[in-house]
Amino acid sequence: MKCIDTHSHLYGSKFQQDLDAVIARAKGVLSHVFLPNIDWDSIPEMLSLVEKDPSFFLPMMGLHPCDVKDDWRSVLDKMYAEFGKRKYWGVGETGLDYYWDKVHVKEQQSALDVQIEWAKEMDLPLILHCRESMGDVIDQVRKGQDGRLKGIFHCFTGTTQQAEEVIDLGFLLGIGGVLTYKNSGLTEVVAQVGLSRLVLETDSPYLPPVPYRGQRNESSYTLVVAEKLAEILNITFDEVATITSQNAKKVFGLID
């Protein structure tokens, strides 16, 4: 049984030297890899990777909060036009980031509001980045939730209470390599939540799981996250792969 990596940046510069080998390893353990966009300049790189295998690499369109600058409105206008040119599977990644940039917090919040409306208008999942901003992202999504919003809180690292709030909003938790980190707190969260609202991700090339911590992450390491999840929940790898893949396919509207 193969897994799905719901969040990977395999189109980045860190994979230029050995991309074919990285893809081959990913295809050995995964059925699909979803590619979140970051900014305007990353679109050609992402779509170039998609063209290598459009049934395996599934692109999304959005503006990352760390790339929200003074020109964010014009960038979003151009991105909105992209949805009319091809199939995109989600809106994102978007969200709020208070770790790297507190200069453009208001702009980040405004950009997130715009992308929340896109997700509702286009019936697409919203892919949310929440670094040191989990409470504010939850609040902003709650304000926008009218029954049409769905999506994934990517790289979820919040508390059990926050996990329950996310689930109450109708969203999924994206679980990646942080699950394997000592003292991450995620073991208790996933044990409480169970598999029914979880999806797997890597966020490659970032946040590699143990034993690859400190190295470049890649999509094939989704397998390590799935194995750790099976260990924590005391179930089989196939159960993890099956249920998390079903969750991913449902939220993205993916029909094989």
| Burial class of residue 152 in the structure, from the number of CB atoms within 10 Å of its CB (0-12 exposed, 13-18 middle, 19+ buried) | buried
The per-residue pLDDT for 205 is 98
Strands (E), 44-111: 57-59, 91-97
Assigned token pair, 206:
């970032």
**Angle subtended at Cα 45 by Cα 43 and Cα 50, rounded to the nearest 5 degrees:** 90
Task: Find the CATH number of the domain harbouring 149.
Answer: 3.20.20.140
CB 169 within 8 A of CB 134: no
Coil, strand or helix: which one is 209?
coil
Distance between the two ends of the chain, CA-based, in angstroms?
Answer: 14
Is the distance from CB of 180 to CB of 228 less than 8 angstroms?
Answer: yes
Q: Cα(92)–Cα(89) distance, rounded to whole angstroms?
A: 9
Sign of CA dihedral 148, 203, 11, 65: positive
| Torsion angle of C-alpha atoms 239, 243, 246, 250, degrees rounded to 10 | 180
Give CA–CA dist 46/219, Å, rounded: 15
DSSP 94: E
Q: What pLDDT is recorded for position 198? A: 98
Domain total of the chain = 1
* Nearest alpha-carbon partner for 114 in 126, 129, 101, 102: 126
Identify the domain containing residue 78 by its residue range.
3-252
pLDDT value at position 249?
Answer: 98
Check residue 196 and give its pLDDT: 97
Tokens standing for residue 13: 């510069």
pLDDT digits (tens, 9 = 90+) for 174-198: 999 999 999 999 999 999 999 999 9
Mean pLDDT by 10 residues, the chain (256 residues): 97 94 98 98 97 98 97 98 98 95 92 98 98 96 98 97 98 98 95 97 98 97 98 98 98 91
Spatial separation of the C-alpha atoms in residues 237 and 113, rounded to whole Å: 38
Tell me, what's the pLDDT at 100? 81
The per-residue pLDDT for 126 is 98
